[in-house]
């Protein structure tokens, strides 16, 4: 290209030199607006209007007040109100329209965070939601409380179910089979098929005092009034072995893997290993009266025991003396439950003269809280699916209460038993409980949600409502 004024590729040879600026462009350049000395203004550059920009956000100086404000003939009269509302929603109600620029430029940081801009995402709402959050008021819809059916979906007649506070005659296996001690016999009720099987008969001179399923498999331990513990294979209805060691009835049983603990009226707790030839491997002494409550923690490291001496003890795997002793209860401690949600959290309930549920942290050896229930506490069980627990009661209201922990607010109070609700077990899926009483009935209740849905608006099992007999 011959013209030295342009230095462009040959393909762009048709481009003509930039014509002199028009009169309109010249007038814009020569206006009172401050012109940046480092920029060259070209005719094809778009020059935006920054009159409505929020310079306060980054401490940028606004245009000089002597500069004439641009005229917008199409601007709505309500734009000022809208801008004020938008400014308050985005940057807070206390954001000023203009900022004091008296400080030297060196003291201002263009990318400095400002306190009025550090707000929650809810502050983007122009309806004052952020103020409600600051005051502790949530605008999210309140979740409706979970509905707990007030009636049992099934009732089983259980003749000869003893009205004895110190016994434990009902347990539910991981294979969905319920074991019940009735007089001198043990019956099995299959929750899937409703089939009833007579497992054993101890004879006319003996009685069943406790039953307890192994955590896995089909082995059932049976404690007798003669101080013996029998191990049965429920799948074959065959007795595996009989273990001795106690001098009086065995009213409490607790499994820990292949180990079995038994508590007796003779005040002792025997630790047994069903794989060993000996009847028991160690003896735990500490209670001054009948042992009526036994529960192993979920990690199988701690054993909690309660007795008619109003004491709650905690033992470990290696000691024959209790490592923790709690003496706050003023009546027999039968109701014991370990939390599956928090390690070391233990709940215990006292009898008629106590009526309280107490919570303990066995890791720090502290008493956490106490709730007076108004009735004898017979049993406790913690939900696996939600942080809730159920208590059953005797004198004087014979009620069943579903509690939300840790607030201990009542989700439901269930009634129907006419005698003390002495027995309690929970289904393997964690949704259903069965309660037994001296009124010789077993009642099945849907009290907890499933682990997935966390919601049980429908009454599971209600279609099978009916009253049958377990033997």
- Between CA 431 and CA 444 the distance in angstroms is 10
What mean pLDDT is reported for the chain? 81
- Between CA 206 and CA 304 the distance in angstroms is 28
Q: How much of the chain, in percent, has pLDDT values that exceed 70?
A: 69
- Between CA 223 and CA 260 the distance in angstroms is 11
Helix (H) or strand (E) holding 129: helix 129-134
45-75 per-residue burial string, b: 16 or more CB within 10 A, e: under 16: eeeeeeeeeeebeebeebbeeeeeeeeeeee
pLDDT band at 34 (very low <50, low <70, confident <90, very high): low
Measured in degrees and rounded to the nearest 5, phi and psi for residue 111 equal -105, 25
Of 71-75, 194-198, 259-263, 308-312, give the lowest mean pLDDT range: 71-75
Task: Name which of 253, 218, 252, 213 is nearest 238 in CA terms.
Answer: 218
Average pLDDT over residues 362-371: 97
Of 63-67, 133-137, 146-150, give the lowest mean pLDDT range: 133-137
Residue 175, both tokens: 């294979």
pLDDT value of residue 116: 42
The arrangement of strands across the sheet holding 324-326 comes to 291-296, 302-307, 312-316, 324-326
pLDDT digits (tens, 9 = 90+) for 443-457: 999 999 988 755 444
- Between CA 240 and CA 232 the distance in angstroms is 5
pLDDT band at 59 (very low <50, low <70, confident <90, very high): low
pLDDT digits (tens, 9 = 90+) for 408-448: 999 999 999 999 999 999 999 999 999 999 999 999 999 99
pLDDT digits (tens, 9 = 90+) for 79-98: 778 888 787 777 766 666 55
pLDDT digits (tens, 9 = 90+) for 250-294: 999 999 988 999 999 999 999 999 999 999 999 999 999 999 999
């Amino acid at each position: 290209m011959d013209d030295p004024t342009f230095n462009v590729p040959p393909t762009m040879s048709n481009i003509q030199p930039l014509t002199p600026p028009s009169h309109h462009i010249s007038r814009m350049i020569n206006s009172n607006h401050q012109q940046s000395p480092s920029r060259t203004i070209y005719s094809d550059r778009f020059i935006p209007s920054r009159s409505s920009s929020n310079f306060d956000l980054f401490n940028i100086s606004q245009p000089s007040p002597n500069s004439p404000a641009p005229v917008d003939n199409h601007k709505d009269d309500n734009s000022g109100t809208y801008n004020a509302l938008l400014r308050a929603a985005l940057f807070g109600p206390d954001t000023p329209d203009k900022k004091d620029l008296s400080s030297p430029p060196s003291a201002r940081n263009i990318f400095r965070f400002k306190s009025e801009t550090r707000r929650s995402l809810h502050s983007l709402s122009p309806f004052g939601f952020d103020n409600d959050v600051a005051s502790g008021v949530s605008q999210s819809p309140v979740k409706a409380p979970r509905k707990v059916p007030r009636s049992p979906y099934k009732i089983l007649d259980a003749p000869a179910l003893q009205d004895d506070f110190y016994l434990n005659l009902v347990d539910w296996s991981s294979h969905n089979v319920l074991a019940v001690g009735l007089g001198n016999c043990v019956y099995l009720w299959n929750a899937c098929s409703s089939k009833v099987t007579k497992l054993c008969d101890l004879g006319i001179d003996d009685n069943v005092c406790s039953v307890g399923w192994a955590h896995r498999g089909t082995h059932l331990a049976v404690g007798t009034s003669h101080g013996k513990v029998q191990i049965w294979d429920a799948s074959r209805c065959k007795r595996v072995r009989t273990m001795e060691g106690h001098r009086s009835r065995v009213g409490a049983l607790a499994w820990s893997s292949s180990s079995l603990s038994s508590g007796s009226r003779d005040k002792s707790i025997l630790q047994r290993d069903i794989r060993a030839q000996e009847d028991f491997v160690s003896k735990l002494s500490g209670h001054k009266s009948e042992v009526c409550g036994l529960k192993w923690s979920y990690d199988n490291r701690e054993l909690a025991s309660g007795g008619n001496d109003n004491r709650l003890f905690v033992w470990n795997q290696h000691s024959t003396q209790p490592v923790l002793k709690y003496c706050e209860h003023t009546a027999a401690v039968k109701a014991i439950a370990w939390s599956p949600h928090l390690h070391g959290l233990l709940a215990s309930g006292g009898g008629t003269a106590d009526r309280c549920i107490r919570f303990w942290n066995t890791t720090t050896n502290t008493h956490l809280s106490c709730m007076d229930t108004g009735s004898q506490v017979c049993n406790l069980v913690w939900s696996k699916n939600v942080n809730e627990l159920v208590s059953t009661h005797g004198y004087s209201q014979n009620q069943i209460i579903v509690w939300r922990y840790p607030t201990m607010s009542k989700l439901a109070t269930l009634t129907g038993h006419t005698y003390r609700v002495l027995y309690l077990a929970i289904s393997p899926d964690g949704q259903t409980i069965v309660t037994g009483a001296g009124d010789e009935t077993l009642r099945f209740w849907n009290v907890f949600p499933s682990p997935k849905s966390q919601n049980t608006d429908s009454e599971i099992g209600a279609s099978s409502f009916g009253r049958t007999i377990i033997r």
